Chain A
Amino acid sequence: MITDTDQNIEKKEMVINMGPQHPSTHGVLRLELVLNGEVITNVKPFIGYLHRCFEKYAEEVKDYSKVIPYTDRMDYVSAMNQEHGYVLGMERMLEIEVPERVEYIRVIVAELQRIASHLLGIGAFGLDLGAFTPFLYCFTEREKILDIFEKTSGARLLYNYMAVGGLMRDVHKDFKTETADFVKTFRPKIKELNDLLSYNQIFIDRTAKIGVLPEKVALNYAASGPVLRGSGVKWDLRKDDPYSIYDRFDFDIPVGSGEVGTLGDCWDRYIVRVREMEQSLRIIEQALDGMPDEGDVMEAIPKRIRPNEGELYVRTETPRGELGYYIVSDKSANPFRVKARAPSFVHLSMLPAISNGALIADMVAIVGSIDIVLGEVDR
């Protein structure tokens, strides 16, 4: 009798929309989850809620340098790195030689930005797992970087600081000491973060062996950045395809090793970011030592930008992975085409591959660990 009723129960899977208004979708992402109880059987990301026509706009602005503010708005968490890629591409196209001082300042701000971006990623990841306090600790540190940027560029989030061939303005006069101070005070904070969050048993229980991304899958999906390195692949464009002056610095590439779980799980992706911050500090220290004190940062900025007909693909390592710009010139004043290859977009596309069989709570952890920025996904 009882078994009879059991068989007659209609078992249905529940379809549930996570987002676009949801506390832990990192912006406006909508995930359509098919649930069996709390177990996810299928997940489908829906994007486009933050689409701002970057590529179309780049074709219409009538000036190559007017594209730079729009690159800021792609990944608004790491605007400096977005600018860096674009100006590098333009300089290669125009064959401009950039002054030493400019190169050093660019590397320093790019690495500071990388730390700021990772702090946000790590903090938000902790927040997704219910740890509120590390999030605010991360923000306190990020604030110090933003203060340096504010003094340097005048803006706190969207800087429009780098220019083709130089910088919009020179750094403020305390830049070196303030950055050096930050590097000194930030090192112990990483240890504090590790004590509070990284090696917390609950945190490890929540992230180890979750959302495992095997090396092969990562390569097939063209993952890059910390997501790829979390799966144990030693691939960093700063070392493997050096741009700017990164070949002058001595730093390591941290990779995931499955210390607490499986190789390529959420914890590996997380810890790669933490360790990358330490490496960024090393780069900043070396760059501060090598940076020339005098020099005009605007001397190489061209009056008019009219590259010859041609096309170019430039790639740089942003905090999220490989950011590529494919720029096509038709010898006019504005680009014929600018295509951005956004790492977040690529990483979001592998979400279904790594999250089947996970619980809702794991879904939140997985989205947090791939650290997407929706502005960059939608562009």
Chain B
Amino acid sequence: MNTIVNITSLPSILLHAAIPLTIILVYALVAIWGERKIAGFIQDRLGPMRVGGFHGWAQSIADLLKLIQKEDIIPTDASRFLFKFAPFMMFAASYAAFAVIPFSSSYIGSNINIGVFYLLAVTSILTLSIIMAGWASNNKWSLLGGMRSAAQMVSYEVPTIATVLTVIVVSGSLNLMTVTEMQSGNDILGFIPNWFIFQNPFLIVAFIIFFISILAESHRVPFDLPESESELVAGYQTEYSGMRWAMFMLAEYADMLLLSLLGAVLFFGGWNSPFGEFLSGPFWSFFWFMLKGLLLVFVMMWIRWTLPRYRVDQLMHICWSILIPLSFINLVLVALWELIF
């Protein structure tokens, strides 16, 4: 199963860089259209219907073309280099993290043995790029959005890491490929897959905490404070337009997928088929993995179009006085469970 490719030559590096990029770009186009359709469905309306004929499938492509044509406006008083650089850095951060995601049983960008650690470290650059964008715009709303997001992401990294740690306690490995392989098979009661979420009752709690934290990490409702449009206009994105703004959107959607896929690896068996050997193999494992990730993305969208948004101090309260203590208690309980059973 494990096919470690020794990356030595330049073409090989480029190939390994291109595969996740293609997945992200295709996913972003589908997800943006999908989010509109889902929003339309939830809100009793049609959503995009015109572009491309069938249910407006080409809407995101049309939007992309529009954004490419737009003028690239940089405010006079902005810090030019940082202002231009921030969107790309943000996308680079979430893109780089895809390197350690095992997309299929036979493909992982880089099979390093500190995969989870690398992923969490690289995604923390996102915070930096948001502050960079907020500060460099030289706009008060942007600055407020940037400051909020810094506080929010730094805080919510703690419960995310604590819950990831919970899974690591069970798996004993930081390599996401190994973590996935450990969840192969359908041994619980003879038919339930060996996914971590079914292995240990406390891991269900861990997953709930993890899911709430990734909602906050990827700033989705009810924690979309950095860009809360009714308060901060558009938060750190206020001064951005055209392709630079599109890069933010792309990074945001990529981040959503990344964290959902991480959740799929850690709790739902990654690329493992839910039916044991049935429909497994490199292609089907990719299919199952994306399906699991996209299902979590769908839940995020569903939440977005249903709930109001929390206030910034309430957000901090939830994190520091509920999620963090709970996740650490849960970590101890999981460890005890593993020790006893």
Residues of A within 8 A of B (CB): 14, 16, 22-24, 38, 126-133, 136-137, 140, 196-197, 200, 202-203, 205-206, 359-364
Smallest CB gap from B143: residue in A? A14
Also in contact, A359 and B230, with CB within 8 A (given A130-B222, A133-B305, A136-B45): no
7 nearest interchain CB pairs? A130-B309, A131-B308, A24-B230, A129-B308, A136-B43, A361-B311, A130-B308
Give chain A nearest CB distance to B276 CB in angstroms.
40
Across-interface contacts of A14 in B (CB, < 8 A): 140
Of residues 220 to 235 in B, which have CB atoms within 8 Å of A's CB atoms? Answer: 221-222, 224-225, 228-233
Could you tell me the distance between the alpha carbons of A302 and B146 in the complex, rounded to whole angstroms?
Answer: 64
Give chain A nearest CB distance to B312 CB in angstroms.
6
Across-interface contacts of A140 in B (CB, < 8 A): 44
Across-interface contacts of A126 in B (CB, < 8 A): 308
- Contact between chains at B231 and A361 (CB < 8 Å): yes
- Contact between chains at A16 and B312 (CB < 8 Å): no
| B144 adjacent to chain A (CB < 8 Å) | yes
Across-interface contacts of A128 in B (CB, < 8 A): 230
- Contact between chains at B310 and A202 (CB < 8 Å): yes
Interface SS of A by simple majority:
helix
Known: A130-B221, A360-B144. 19 other contacts (CB 8 A): A14-B140, A16-B140, A23-B233, A24-B230, A38-B144, A126-B308, A128-B230, A130-B228, A133-B306, A140-B44, A196-B306, A197-B308, A200-B308, A206-B311, A359-B312, A361-B225, A361-B312, A362-B311, A363-B231
- Contact between chains at B308 and A23 (CB < 8 Å): no
Smallest CB gap from B232: residue in A? A360
- Contact between chains at B228 and A136 (CB < 8 Å): no
- Contact between chains at A129 and B309 (CB < 8 Å): yes
Give chain B nearest CB distance to A204 CB in angstroms.
10
Task: Say which size band chain B's interface belongs to.
Answer: 20 to 34
- Contact between chains at B307 and A202 (CB < 8 Å): yes
| Chain A proximity mask over B22-58: 1 for CB below 8 Å, otherwise 0 | 0000000000000000010011110000000000000
Across-interface contacts of B310 in A (CB, < 8 A): 202, 205-206
Give chain A nearest CB distance to B131 CB in angstroms.
16
Give chain B nearest CB distance to A279 CB in angstroms.
26
Give chain A nearest CB distance to B143 CB in angstroms.
9
26 A-B pairs with C-beta separation under 8 A: A16-B141, A22-B233, A23-B229, A24-B230, A24-B231, A38-B148, A127-B230, A130-B221, A130-B230, A131-B308, A132-B39, A133-B42, A133-B43, A197-B308, A202-B307, A202-B308, A202-B310, A203-B308, A206-B308, A206-B309, A359-B312, A360-B231, A361-B228, A363-B231, A364-B230, A364-B231
Of residues 297 to 322 in B, which have CB atoms within 8 Å of A's CB atoms? Answer: 305-314
Smallest CB gap from A134: residue in B? B308
Across-interface contacts of B314 in A (CB, < 8 A): 205-206
Could you tell me the distance between the alpha carbons of A126 and B44 in the complex, rounded to whole angstroms?
Answer: 17
- Contact between chains at B230 and A137 (CB < 8 Å): no
- Contact between chains at B312 and A202 (CB < 8 Å): no
- Contact between chains at B44 and A132 (CB < 8 Å): no
Could you tell me the distance between the alpha carbons of A273 and B229 in the complex, rounded to whole angstroms?
Answer: 25
Across-interface contacts of A22 in B (CB, < 8 A): 233
Across-interface contacts of A361 in B (CB, < 8 A): 225, 228, 231, 311-312
| Chain A proximity mask over B177-221: 1 for CB below 8 Å, otherwise 0 | 000000000000000000000000000000000000000000001
Across-interface contacts of B42 in A (CB, < 8 A): 133
Give chain A nearest CB distance to B228 CB in angstroms.
6
Across-interface contacts of B312 in A (CB, < 8 A): 38, 359, 361
Across-interface contacts of A131 in B (CB, < 8 A): 306-309
Across-interface contacts of A203 in B (CB, < 8 A): 308
Could you tell me the distance between the alpha carbons of A205 and B317 in the complex, rounded to whole angstroms?
Answer: 12
Across-interface contacts of B144 in A (CB, < 8 A): 38, 360
Smallest CB gap from A14: residue in B? B140
Give chain B nearest CB distance to A15 CB in angstroms.
9
- Contact between chains at B230 and A129 (CB < 8 Å): yes
Give chain B nearest CB distance to A367 CB in angstroms.
10
